[in-house]
């Protein structure tokens, strides 16, 4: 319980809600839903093509984590803790799809996506959202969710 209570206080301004809405409503909740709605394209089928082990189980699990943690971030509830799975997701996304693209060949178990060209610039183009999301998540991990959130009410004992 101490870990949870220590993760609640925040110095971030109330406008951090805009970042939380971006992370939760614009990126992760819709991505989690689409893993279930379009499993062949964005769920288990995509995971299998990339080379992620146990794709049939991992895709729905990741989708559920994206929906759950995305909603927690939107509402500002346990925001710092909810960012941790997303940081892992973003690192895996970069390692599994972007680094092989830069190298121009498969990396470990991960397969290179089909593109017209493979070089640093194609990777930089394709990875811009991944890198931006990783930095935004690190910001939320450091600063917390801001003042308009459930975490602040819990931290104040209301």
pLDDT tens readout for residues 102-132: 666 666 666 666 666 667 777 777 788 999 9
Pair 141, 83: CB distance under 8 Å: yes
Beta bridge partners of 107: 110
Tell me how far apart the alpha carbons of residues 46 and 39 are, in angstroms, rounded to a whole number: 8
Residues constituting the chain: 158
Distance CA 150, CA 158 (A): 10
pLDDT of residue 82: 96
- CA–CA gap between residue 11 and residue 69 (Å, rounded): 21
pTM, full prediction:
0.81
* Residue 18: its H or E element: helix 16-21
* pLDDT for the residue numbered 158: 55
> Do 80 and 155 meet the contact criterion of CB atoms below 8 Å apart?
no
95/71 Cα distance (integer angstroms): 26
pLDDT at position 29 over 80: yes
The domain locations on the chain are 2-155
At residue 3, does pLDDT exceed 80? no
Whether pLDDT at 8 is above 70: no
């Amino acid at each position: 319980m101490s870990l949870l209570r220590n993760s609640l206080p925040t110095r971030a301004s109330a406008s951090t809600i805009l970042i939380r809405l971006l992370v939760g409503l614009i990126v992760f909740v819709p991505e989690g839903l689409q893993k279930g709605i379009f499993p062949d394209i964005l769920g288990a089928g995509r995971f299998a093509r990339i080379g992620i082990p146990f794709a049939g189980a991992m895709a729905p699990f990741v989708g559920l984590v994206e929906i759950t943690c995305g909603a927690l971030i939107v509402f500002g509830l346990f925001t710092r803790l909810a960012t941790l799975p997303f940081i892992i997701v973003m690192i895996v996304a970069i390692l599994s799809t972007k680094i092989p693209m830069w190298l121009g060949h498969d990396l470990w178990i991960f397969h290179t996506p089909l593109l017209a060209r493979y070089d640093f610039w194609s990777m930089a183009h394709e990875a811009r959202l991944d890198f931006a999301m990783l930095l935004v998540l690190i910001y939320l991990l450091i600063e917390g969710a801001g003042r308009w959130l459930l975490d602040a009410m819990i931290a104040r004992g209301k």
